[in-house]
Amino acid sequence: MLIDAVQSYLALRRACGFKLRYQEYRLRRFAQFSMARGKTHVCSETAIEWAALARSIEQRTRRLRDVIQFARHVRAENPLHELPRAAFGRSSWRRPTPYIYAREEIERLIRSAREHGCSDLQKDTYGTLFALIACTGLRVSEALQLRLSDLTLDGLVIRSSKFRKTRLVPLHDSTRAAFERFIERRRGCAQADDPVFVSSTGFPLTLWEVEYMFHVTATKAGLPRGPSRPRATLHALRHTFAVRALESCPDGRDRITQHMVALSTYLGHAKLASTYWYLEATPLLMRDIAERVERFATGERS
């Protein structure tokens, strides 16, 4: 059955560290759609028909891309599965241009967060959460999974994050001092294994709650939130941290390589290529790259 093949595919990729929450939903829908039409294998015509039901070109492309990746996998064992063509655009995923915050924009966002909420602790919670992500480059999910005991003398312990990795994130002295002050206000009668960031009802903050509060505070702060790209997002705080870290990279080929490896480890990237992508994120970085290429092309090796 096609649904069994989907389940096997998801289990294999998750064993490699991928979560695939949205892909699972889409592939299950595709399998149900195919089986309703009597298809027991991936059929190109059926895949394109199903993908075309989505409202936008982006959604159609995303649907079909997931099916193409799935089809490549199952064809290795059973050639009866067809490999659909990329009817709505590129079959490979292309990273969107990230929004890079100015320092003043981050300050406005944090001030706005500290003005919203039903209690002083809730205002402090969101202000601290956004500031921590901006200062450390943590993924939103990593920040929400923090426990009170994860703050150690050496930094923050990030447990079983993306790709099931655990790592230590050192903190700047000013970041540590501000975070420790929040921890003291938050602690009360909480236990060491309790989450750092909780809602006004005492339950762990959910991603939906945080995204909603970010939308409210970012809009209040006057940050671009329309459909156009790039636009301010919560994850863009992580992008901004990475880009600023690269902009501060010292000169010298060996030192740049070491800096890149260190940043990749700090961010918890599975592949170094994920870190190199940030080189194209700002005009400053692109200008530096262009100047180095030009010097190399004209015979300079420094």
What does the block give as tokens for 235? 């994850």
Helix (H) or strand (E) holding 180: helix 173-187
Four-residue CA torsion sign, 73, 77, 82, 83: positive
C-alpha separations of 71 from 44, 52, 81 in Å = 10, 18, 7
Catalytic residues: 139, 162, 235, 238, 269, 278
pLDDT at 300: 63
Q: Hey, what CATH topology would domain 101-302 get?
A: hpI Integrase; Chain A (1.10.443)
C-alpha separations of 117 from 112, 136, 196, 214, 287 in Å = 10, 24, 17, 12, 42
pLDDT at 111: 94
pLDDT at 275: 65
Contact status, residue 143 vs residue 133, Cβ threshold 8 Å: yes
What does the block give as tokens for 164? 């099931």
pLDDT at 65: 92
Predicted TM-score (pTM) of the model is: 0.65
Spans in the chain with pLDDT lower than 70 = 17, 89-96, 160-164, 189, 227-229, 250-259, 270-290, 292-293, 296-297, 299-302
